[in-house]
Chains A and B, each alone.
Chain A
Amino acid sequence: MDIVIVVADAVRASVGPLGAAYALTAIGLNLHYGYTGLLNFGHVAFLMVGAYGTAVTVDQGGPFWLGILVGVIAAILLGLLFGLPTLRLRVDYLAIVTIAGGEVLRTVIRSGDKDSLTGGVFGITQFATTFFGANPFPEGEYGWGRLAFTERQLWVAVVAWSLVALATILLVLLVRSPWGRVLRSIREDEDAARSLGKNVFAYKLQSLVTGGVIAAFAGMIIAIERQSVHPDTYLPAGTFLAYAVLILGGTASRLGPVLGAVVYWFLFEFTDGFLRGAISAGWIPGASSRRPTSARSE
């Protein structure tokens, strides 16, 4: 096994578009959970409506930029849908509604047939041609050896990390402002904030929607990178992965989500590559690189 290749692949994954998308996902969640104390267990649904908003619009013949706008509007609407009925109640209600609402929405998207708006289980593909058409990087390999990206991957990665930078700056500005001060007071004691004249409900709703829109961009990046949306990408486990990334990097910290995403992808790919290599080198006794089913049938 070549450890250099394993490390290179892991680095590649963590600085690539997916690393950036996970960072954005966690930045949105950080605003919800880290700074406001909202328990959003349906975060992955924001990625889903962002991705589908774009894909469906383009698939129906709309321009790509309109697709992005539709994705953003869809995330705002989803935030209102989750927040309006629950944010006046105890925190648990948001948790229940988000986890259930996200799954219901996913099931609805999934249930259409091939010719429906969402493409059902077939999803939608090839909707980001405009995006790749705008690629300023000429065809070729960028980077060194295993660490090289194609011009397409590089273009997505550059856009994605730019969005991460923008979102990080926006969040720093927001949480350092008096608005952020109110958010921190809500996280600690809602009643104290209320007693001082703060409209806690409105702040929570603003936080939920803003973080949701940031996550919608993450959904768009993942969809664009693959040129495909599929309902099974947005299983509830995705939300918990986002929590893992956020907690790994540190909640309520400025660079936590970015750090968490990079470290997560590095560890994930490294472990994967290392174990594969170890198995094929015979370092792990009893393990076979072949699938267990075929091993049993022998």
Chain B
Amino acid sequence: MPADAVFAAEAVTGSRKPDAILVVNGMHRSFGGLAAVDVGHLEVQRGVITALIGPNGAGKTTLFNLLTGFDRPDGGSSTFDGRPVTGLPPHRIARAGMIRTFQLTKALAKMSVLDNMMLAAPHQRGERIVYAPLRSAWRHQERDVEERAGSLLEKFGLADLRDDYAATLSGGQRKLLEMARVLMAEPKMVLLDEPMAGVNPALVESLLHHVRELRDEGLTVLFVEHDMDVVMGISDWVVCMGEGRVISEGRRRSWPPTKR
């Protein structure tokens, strides 16, 4: 089990990890005089679930924005899967395999649930303007994409809603849709910004289950969460931020006790 690999990493701030997929170096960003992010060295290990915790305003979302190209750092760099990604536009970083979600869900309310899913599929021929008017050029691929979207929606319990507008979904269902949509994009690593916030407890269980499944399928998960029960429940590694810095990091303590 890849998650066991966390035992090879030393539980100190900025620790080196075997097979790190994401490496952040000296990344800082300030707004006015406020240092929102000032991360010396941070590595995220491949194939494990890493929780990013910290009080409000600690810089977690800002760090996500810097990593995914939605904001530019004042200095420092990051490499993803061995490639430097600092300064690349967001869509290039997403295509490299690092897909993020937003603290406030960005389900596309005026599009159907199915369209939300199909949009996310990568390498679509019909998305190129020269092929777009020629249905025969992309019909087969479109069918495959629809099939894949359908089975993911099935898995996330949204199959009955596929033709509904995303606007009609509840907050929790939107979080589910966003997570399913991320998978549709075939990422190597997902960055989830508070995926459980505002979700009712019944759905939290199902979301947690899906996050674990992502890891078991080999994906790397980095997620922001305030609920410590959730953090302790599913994460393999925990990184704690405060005032823009990484204060500490380490393995999740074996609490609550699990069978492992």
Instruction: Give A residues with C-beta under 8 Å from B.
Output: 170, 173-174, 177-182, 184-185, 188-189, 191-201, 206, 210
Contact = CB atoms under 8 A, between A and B. Distances in A.
8 contacts: A174-B129, A177-B131, A179-B128, A181-B118, A185-B108, A196-B185, A197-B94, A197-B99
Interface stretch (B16-24, B38-46, B48-56, B109-117): B109-117
Interface residues of B, number: 35
Most chain A CB within a 10 A radius of its CB, from B119, B124, B131, B135: B119
B129 A206 contact: yes
A276 B187 CA distance: 68
A188 B165 CA distance: 13
B87 interface: no
A195 B99 contact: yes
B91 A179 contact: no
Contact of B70 (A180, A194, A210): A194
Contacts of B95: 197
A178 B101 CA distance: 22
A199 B119 contact: no
B68 interface: yes
A231 B22 CA distance: 58
Interface string B112-139: 0001001110101111110111010010
Contact of B127 (A173, A179, A195): A179
A198 to B, nearest CB: 6
B156 interface: no
Closest 5 pairs between A and B when the two form their complex, measured CB to CB: A178-B126, A179-B132, A197-B94, A177-B132, A192-B106
Contacts of B101: 195
B59 interface: no
A275 to B, nearest CB: 42
A191 B118 contact: no
A178 B142 contact: yes
Contact of A194 (B90, B115, B126, B131): B90
Contacts of A189: 106, 108
Nearest to A209: B129
Given A174-B133, A182-B119, A182-B127, A200 B91 contact: yes
B91 A198 contact: yes
Contacts of A173: 132-133, 135
Interface of B: 68, 70, 89-91, 94-95, 99-102, 106, 108-111, 115, 118-120, 122, 124-129, 131-133, 135, 138, 142, 181, 185
Contacts of A174: 129, 132-133
Contacts of B135: 173, 177
Given A195-B94, A195-B101, A197-B91, A178 B110 contact: no
Given A173-B135, A174-B132, A195-B68, A179 B126 contact: yes
Contact of B119 (A170, A191, A196): A196
A199 B91 contact: yes
Contacts of B119: 181-182, 185, 193, 196, 198
Nearest to A192: B106
A191 B107 CA distance: 11
A147 B188 CA distance: 66
Contacts of A185: 108, 111, 119
A184 B111 contact: yes
A191 B193 CA distance: 14
Q: Which of B70, B111, B132 has the most CB of A within 10 A?
A: B132
A179 B102 contact: no
A196 B94 contact: yes
Contact of B108 (A188, A199, A200): A188
A184 B165 CA distance: 13
